[in-house]
A and B are shown apart, each in its own frame.
Chain A
Amino acid sequence: MKPSNAIGLLPFAAALAAWAIVPIYVDYPSYMLPPLPDVWTHLLETLADGTLAGHVLNSLGRLALGFAVGTGIAIPLGIAIALNRHVADTLKPLLTFLQSIAGIAWVPLAIIWFGIGIGSVVFVIANTIFFATLYNTVIGVQAIPQALHRAVRSLGGKGLSLASVLILPGALVQLIVGFRTAMAYGWRALVAAEMIAGTNGLGYMTIEAVQWYRTETVLLGMIAIGLIWLVMDRLIFEPIERVTVRRWGIVQR
């Protein structure tokens, strides 16, 4: 790090120092902001007994399941909408309306249908990821040049071979860009859904701690939610996007 950038660490240092010093001089209920050492010990405890790892794994598993269900429905439907005008005209207004009902508004209904727990949470994540992926699939397939369609068709490609030779590879770049957006929305939906309808996972851990005023757990949950998303986005999705866009993308530079 350049020395000129080190100044950016000042606010962090100031915040940590204030967090360490203020409780000594100001009297306030400790649940409002537990002392720094307490949060640290709590982190070590939950790491040692595996509760934090358990919640993280549960959350990630649900995200993966919701992602698989959401994209599994969205990609075929998106291809159908992009290729067939009748399907597009019939479904677009309905889908636009359903899309405008934010995923999180489905949670209470999902609880009635699937009960508190994994079913409701996965339903809401899949719903959120479905719409983000659908939009990008339609855009991606529509962007394939008409000439390529004609070429593959005139060589006898149709049905599955058309899909595997032209449509999926042609839409791939846009799909991967879409996956990254979908994950950003999906992660928010996951945390929110776990807070309302979860029985475990990071969102549940965080909101449950509010009931008992265990603020150190709330803080840990927040930081874990931020860090995991940052790691997923920057270390997994951004590199994949960069590599695909560079290799197959039609990027004008």
Chain B
Amino acid sequence: MAGTLTQAPPRGLPWSRRLARPAKGAAGILLFLAAWQISVPLVGLEPYFYPGPADVWTAFVDLMRKGILPVYTVDSLSRYSAGVGIGIVAGVFFGVLIGLNAFASRLLSPTINFLFAIVEVAWIPIFVIWWGYGYKTILIALTYVVFFPVLYNTLIGVRTVPQPLINAVRALGGTRAQVLTHVILPAALPGIITGLRVGAGFAFRGLIFAEIVAAKTGLGYLIFEGAQSHQTARTIVGMISVGVIWLLIDQFYLKPIERATIERWGLVTDAEQRA
């Protein structure tokens, strides 16, 4: 979802126009910050209720100097990458299994549809009962969130592999394993990547929620604990960190992967449909 409102400036515009756009965007952000700072004395509320940008900056410097923010960020990111990693592997495995095997499809599809309907936030309470507050609960919740979109999109990818391609490889003497690695997985890759993008977005939200409910470190915990202890500036530092990290993940990790796979293996019509 994130990043969808931005667009690269169109080529062929004069330089003044191409520069005008980022300048206006920066002006929008600066205006927002200025209005926020000016409104603080005007509103005259307690800083815990309505901290200004200056308070947030002080809290940021403090959290960096004490090393809290870097440690929490690393904690959040390691949970996130572990959960997303396991979710992808499991999702691709079951997606290929169900896509290729009619019996597995009939056996498992209703169960998977049912489980998919129960949104991940609803699972967290029962996970807490089973595994307590902490790492295991968060990891399982993230895996769960990523698993379903990856599975669905892998399934679509596997089922749209043209049969002649499979027949061709078989006729040339390819084994079933070679069909899997040389035909089916590459063909399903754009689907897998789409699933990864959807799942990664939901998982990031899920991570923050799980850390608020069930963790003692991490950015979600920072946001929650800051508000609990009336250090609201810390909460806002946490929120801004969450936003920046998501933009970075999207911009430098998900989008390049998507571009590379679609350019290399994607069917063009498929890419157009999703664009």
| Bound together | yes
> Which residues of A are at the interface with B, using a C-beta cutoff of 8 A?
4-5, 7-12, 31-32, 86, 89-109, 111-113, 131-132, 134-135, 138, 187-188, 191-192, 195-196, 203, 206-207, 209-210, 213, 215, 218-219, 221-223, 225-227, 229-230
Q: Identify B128's interface contact among A91, A210, A229, CB under 8 A.
A: A210
- Residue of B2, B48, B129 contacting most chain A CB atoms (<10 Å): B129
Complex Cα spacing A206 to B126, Å = 9
Counting contact residues on chain B (CB < 8 A from A), the size range is 35 or more
B1-19: which residues lie under 8 A (CB-CB) from chain A?
Answer: 1-7
Q: Identify A8's interface contact among B32, B109, B129, CB under 8 A.
A: B109
Q: Which 4 A-B pairs have the closest CB atoms?
A: A108-B227, A226-B118, A93-B25, A8-B110
> Beyond the given A94-B28, A101-B243, could you list 13 further A-B residue pairs with CB under 8 A, ordered by the A residue number?
A7-B106, A8-B107, A11-B107, A12-B114, A94-B32, A101-B242, A102-B205, A109-B236, A112-B227, A134-B5, A188-B120, A191-B119, A210-B125
> Main secondary structure on chain A at its contact with chain B?
helix
Task: Give B32's nearest chain A residue, CB to CB.
Answer: A94
Whether the pair A89, B118 counts as a contact (CB closer than 8 A) is no
Task: Give A194's nearest chain B residue, CB to CB.
Answer: B121
Q: Identify B121's interface contact among A97, A132, A191, A230, CB under 8 A.
A: A191
Q: Given A11-B108, A11-B111, A191-B119, answer yes or no on A213-B129 (Cβ-Cβ < 8 Å).
A: yes
Across the interface, which residues of B come within 8 angstroms of A105, CB to CB?
Answer: 208, 220, 223, 238-239, 242
Whether the pair B243, A97 counts as a contact (CB closer than 8 A) is yes
Instruction: Give the shortest distance, in Å, between B28 (CB) and chain A (any CB).
Output: 4
Report the number of A-B residue pairs with Cβ-Cβ less than 8 Å. Answer: 180
> Which residues of B are at the interface with A, using a C-beta cutoff of 8 A?
1-7, 20-22, 24-29, 31-32, 48-49, 103, 106-111, 114, 117-126, 128-130, 204-205, 208-209, 212-213, 220, 223-224, 226-228, 230, 232, 235-236, 238-240, 242-244, 246-247, 250
Across the interface, which residues of B come within 8 angstroms of A196, CB to CB?
Answer: 212-213, 224
Complex Cα spacing A196 to B124, Å = 12
Q: Identify A132's interface contact among B1, B26, B32, CB under 8 A.
A: B1
Across the interface, which residues of B come within 8 angstroms of A101, CB to CB?
Answer: 239-240, 242-243, 246
Whether the pair B1, A108 counts as a contact (CB closer than 8 A) is no
Across the interface, which residues of B come within 8 angstroms of A131, CB to CB?
Answer: 1
Whether the pair A12, B6 counts as a contact (CB closer than 8 A) is no
Across the interface, which residues of B come within 8 angstroms of A89, CB to CB?
Answer: 20-21, 24-25, 28
18 contacts between A and B (CB under 8 A): A4-B106, A8-B108, A11-B108, A31-B129, A90-B24, A94-B29, A99-B4, A105-B223, A108-B223, A109-B232, A135-B5, A188-B121, A195-B125, A206-B122, A219-B126, A225-B121, A226-B117, A230-B117
Across the interface, which residues of B come within 8 angstroms of A106, CB to CB?
Answer: 239
Q: Given A11-B107, A135-B4, answer yes or no on A100-B29 (Cβ-Cβ < 8 Å).
A: no
Instruction: Give the shortest distance, in Å, between A138 (CB) and chain B (any CB).
Output: 7
Across the interface, which residues of B come within 8 angstroms of A12, CB to CB?
Answer: 110-111, 114
Complex Cα spacing A131 to B213, Å = 24
Complex Cα spacing A91 to B122, Å = 35
